[in-house]
Chains A and B, each alone.
Chain A
């Protein structure tokens, strides 16, 4: 394979409750440079935990996770995360929330202002810079979360079911925005979801995990060309076949 590997998860085991709960065991996974990898799995199978381990937010019990040749031990500035619960600071206005990661990285003020403005524009929040999160809808709050992660211009973007708590209409709008943002400038992205449709539409490949302890059931390449939109993916000839394969895997049923 020509594309280099950006993140490799090698024989990783993660346990909770002093070893009583095994979330995953001997898990192997590779994320290629510039690809959008979707991880699809039933709720509670350990997707969030896997992402936390990839970012060094949780320790692993065995194996190793390597990003760009460096073993992950603590959060790195080259990686940014978008949270399922948005994770906005209620006491910061939109622009302060977006600037958060940049400020922590001690980037010069002028650059911060420039970048904040750029990414606020990119996620469609122009005019809301001075609003507090409570005044925003869920969809807009997650736009802030996305802008905050994009603003640090990470090499790797980790997204934990970012649209999972949004209503269906808002979710589709944001899925399309993310497709657009990714397609304008592809970057390595790990996107966690429990929606089959979302995994196929956003991913170059889809990793299907089993229920706990999570194992990789299969890695499916999504052979649908970009640029995509949610509508174009669903209307695509390959979609039904891909969806059926994924759902058989998720539901643990053998191929018919």
Chain B
């Protein structure tokens, strides 16, 4: 095989190798969900219907909530808070992470504050956030999501910036890099996988923040739907927003995965 043929076939072979196990993965994943749903469906009637309803009843409730428009309204409200808070957290987290990761003075200035805020359970701050934003509109819930999301992004970014391969820093110096090029060629790309890992953690935490804020501050969105139907023992309906939140998590994780392939294609080797 000539060098050129090797190059032409190498990426497609890698892609094929990447794809076929993933198909297998999906069969197992979907299969296991199907098994759980089946067992649930057949065991549910033997439990108290006030506590557990079968998946089929939840499916019916889902259609009802969509037809009445309640689910869409709640989802939109939740999404606004989640996306807003998430974006704010990523911007602040990456910025502070880069600054504190690179400059010792900045680290010393921010670390006590960050450590203090990080060690308080974020949930405990939600009522305070509600009060601070006068319980008005999306703002308190956006802030709550941002609070939940910001620390994993900040801390991961900080680690990423600090963990730059010293060998590569020396290469950059040997080729007479400017400070600006050092950032764009070495520090930022090398921190990217850390930042993305932080963002992935932030998605999970942000959804928690979103729901808790809806419980405690807004009485709107998917969180409120859960409470509303839980209080009247409509477990079939209460489950619908729960599943919707789970779906949000999956969609956002997928989005980040896709983004990773775009901004950091060199990481594809892990597949």
The number of chain A residues touching the other chain, given as a range, is 20 to 34
Q: Are B10 and A135 in contact (CB under 8 A)?
A: yes
Residues from chain B with Cβ under 8 Å of A103 in the complex: 181
Chain A nearest CB from B218 CB (Å) reads: 42
Say yes or no for A41: interface residue by CB 8 A criterion: no
Task: Type the 1/0 row for A98-116, where 1 means its CB is closer than 8 Å to any CB of B.
Answer: 0011011100000000000
Query: How far is the CB of A133 from the nearest CB of chain B, in Å?
Result: 8
Contact B266 A90 (CB under 8 A): yes
Q: Mark A54-84, 1 if CB is under 8 A from B, else 0.
A: 0101000000000000000001110011010
Do B3 and A126 touch (CB < 8 A)? yes
Asked if residues A87 and B167 are in contact (CB atoms below 8 Å), the reply is yes
CB-CB under 8 A for A126 and B176, given A83-B171, A90-B266, A131-B10: no
B24 within 8 A of A: no
Contact B189 A91 (CB under 8 A): yes
Contacts of A85 in B (CB 8 A): 167
Contact B7 A128 (CB under 8 A): yes
A254 on interface, CB distance cutoff 8 Å = no
Minimum CB distance partner of A101 in chain B: B175
Query: Please, how many angstroms separate the alpha-carbon atoms of A55 and B172 in the complex?
Result: 13
Determine the distance from Cα of A236 to Cα of B58 in the docked complex, in whole angstroms. Answer: 85
B3 and A83: CB pair below 8 A? no
Distance, CA A82 to CA B190, complexed state (A): 21
Contact flags B137-179 to A (C-beta < 8 A → 1, else 0): 0000000000000000000000000000001101101111110
Q: How far is the CA of A91 from the CA of B263 in the complex (A)?
A: 10
Given A91-B189, A126-B3, A128-B7, A134–B175 Cβ distance below 8 Å? Answer: no
Measured CB to CB, the closest approach of chain A to B53, in angstroms, equals: 50
Question: Does B269 count as interface, using CB distance less than 8 angstroms?
Answer: yes
Contact between A75 and B175 (Cβ–Cβ < 8 Å)? Answer: yes
- Interface residues of A, dominant DSSP: loop
* Closest chain B CB from A153 CB (angstroms): 13
Per DSSP, chain B at the interface is helix
Establish whether residues A89 and B168, one from each chain, have CB atoms under 8 Å apart when the complex forms: yes
Given A104-B178, A128-B3, CB of A57 within 8 Å of CB of B265:
no
Q: Are A89's CB and B175's CB within 8 A? A: no
Closest partner residue, chain B, to A103 (CB atom): B181
Chain A residues contacting B7 (CB-CB under 8 Å) are 127-128, 131
Minimal beta-carbon separation of B160 from chain A (angstroms): 13
Given contacts A126-B3, A131-B7, A132-B265, contact A57 B14 (CB under 8 A): no
| A7→B154 CA distance, assembly (Å) | 47
Tell me the complex Cα distance, A134–B270, Å: 10
Contact A57 B174 (CB under 8 A): yes
Q: In whole angstroms, how far apart are the Cα atoms of A120 and B190 in the complex?
A: 25
Q: Smallest CB–CB gap between A170 and chain B, Å?
A: 15
B227 contacts A by Cβ under 8 Å: no
| Pair B4/A126 contact, Cβ less than 8 Å | yes
Given A57-B173, A75-B173, A83-B171, A135:B178 Cβ within 8 A: no
Other-chain residue from A87, A104, A132, A133 in contact with B181 (beta carbon distance below 8 A): A104
Within 8 A of A (CB), among B3-25: 3-4, 6-8, 10-11, 14
The yes or no answer to B216 lying at the interface (CB within 8 A) is no
When distances are taken between beta carbons in the complex, the residues of chain A under 8 Å from B190 are 91
Which residues in B have their C-beta under 8 angstroms from that of A131? 7, 10
Q: Does B111 contact A (CB under 8 A)?
A: no
Contacts of B264 in A (CB 8 A): 91
Please judge, given known A-B contacts A90-B266, A126-B3, A132-B265, whether A105 and B176 are in contact too, CB under 8 Å: yes
| Complex: A49 Cα to B236 Cα, angstroms | 71
Cβ of B185 within 8 Å of any chain A Cβ, yes or no, is yes
Measured CA separation A133–B266 after assembly (Å): 8
- A57–B170 touching, CB < 8 Å: yes
State in angstroms the CA–CA spacing of A89 and B186 once bound together.
7
Partner of B175 from A91, A104, A126 at Cβ < 8 Å: A104
Taking Cβ atoms with an 8 Å cutoff, the residues of B that contact A are 3-4, 6-8, 10-11, 14, 167-168, 170-171, 173-178, 181, 185-186, 189-190, 192, 264-266, 269
Q: Besides the contacts A104-B178, A126-B4, A128-B3, what 18 more A-B pairs have beta carbons closer than 8 Å?
A: A57-B173, A75-B173, A80-B175, A83-B167, A87-B170, A89-B186, A92-B185, A104-B181, A105-B176, A124-B3, A127-B3, A128-B7, A131-B7, A132-B269, A134-B269, A135-B10, A135-B11, A152-B175
21 contacts between A and B (CB under 8 A): A57-B170, A57-B174, A80-B174, A81-B174, A83-B170, A89-B186, A90-B266, A91-B190, A91-B192, A104-B175, A104-B181, A124-B3, A127-B3, A127-B4, A127-B7, A127-B8, A128-B7, A132-B266, A132-B269, A134-B266, A135-B10
